[in-house]
């Protein structure tokens, strides 16, 4: 099976649902901080933060949303040593004693999230860490599970899930393609 699995309206609905689930699970936005994992996790985190601010008066997206670069924490640097180091931007609310919601586009093996957990411990000590992903495609190699999932998409190991976002790719879509490779979150 290949083709577009989610279009722009589907992605929008999924992010709105995730925003509401985050609020429900955490009894409101009081201690919630969103950290997007670049590249596509960051615009997803920003979209979720905007949706939370639409529902919860006083939730400041700039103060509660940041970026978490995990490049130097990856366990595959020896295979691809020429990765560009990105920027980590900690929200002004900080992460100490906050509920940090990591946001990424695709959850696959769990290795990206393991690297993100390592990166977080160098930034501070959150009260809890939760995970929100647009797509969970299965094939975990580490015992990591998402708390908030836009869509579970069972895949074969040879298939690739490509997330396109307007901010980066000019369109919103989740596409399933055949072949080797794929995301390694």
CATH of the domain at 134: 3.40.50.2020
Q: Give, for 13, the enclosing helix (H) or strand (E).
A: helix 8-25
Query: Does 184 have pLDDT greater than 70?
Result: no
Average pLDDT score over residue span 109-119 = 97
Is 181 a member of any domain? no
Is 184 a member of any domain? no
Is 25 a member of any domain? yes
- How many structural domains compose the chain? 1
Alpha-carbon distances, residue 26 vs 36, 92, 149 (angstroms): 18, 20, 16
Residue 34 CA to residue 63 CA, distance in Å, equals 10
Is 36 a member of any domain? yes
Among candidate residues 2, 1, 3, 8, the one with its CA nearest the CA of residue 173: 8
Is 43 a member of any domain? yes
Is 79 a member of any domain? yes
**Domain containing 145: what range?**
10-155
Give residues with Cβ within 8 angstroms of 91, minimum separation 6. 33, 34, 35, 62, 63, 64, 65, 66
Is 182 a member of any domain? no
Is 176 a member of any domain? no
The pTM assigned to this predicted structure is 0.93
- pLDDT one-digit tens code per residue, 37-47: 999 999 999 99
Residue 16 CA to residue 30 CA, distance in Å, equals 18
- pLDDT one-digit tens code per residue, 44-60: 999 999 999 999 999 99
């Amino acid at each position: 099976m290949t083709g577009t699995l989610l279009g722009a309206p589907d992605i929008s609905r999924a992010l709105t649902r995730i925003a509401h689930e985050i609020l429900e699970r955490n009894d409101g936005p009081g201690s919630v901080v969103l950290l997007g994992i670049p590249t596509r996790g960051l615009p997803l985190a920003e979209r979720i933060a905007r949706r939370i601010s639409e529902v919860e008066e006083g939730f400041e997206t700039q103060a509660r949303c940041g970026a978490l670069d995990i490049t130097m924490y990856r366990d595959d640097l020896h295979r691809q040593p020429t990765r560009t180091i990105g920027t980590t931007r900690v929200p002004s609310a900080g992460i100490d004693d906050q509920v940090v919601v990591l946001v990424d586009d695709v959850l696959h093996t769990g290795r990206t999230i393991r690297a993100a957990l390592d990166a977080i411990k160098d930034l501070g000590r959150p009260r809890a860490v939760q995970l929100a992903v647009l797509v969970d495609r299965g094939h975990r190699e580490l015992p990591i599970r998402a708390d908030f999932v836009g869509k579970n998409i069972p895949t074969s190991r040879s298939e690739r899930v490509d997330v396109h976002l307007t901010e980066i790719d000019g369109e919103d879509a989740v596409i399933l393609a055949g072949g080797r490779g794929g995301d390694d979150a």
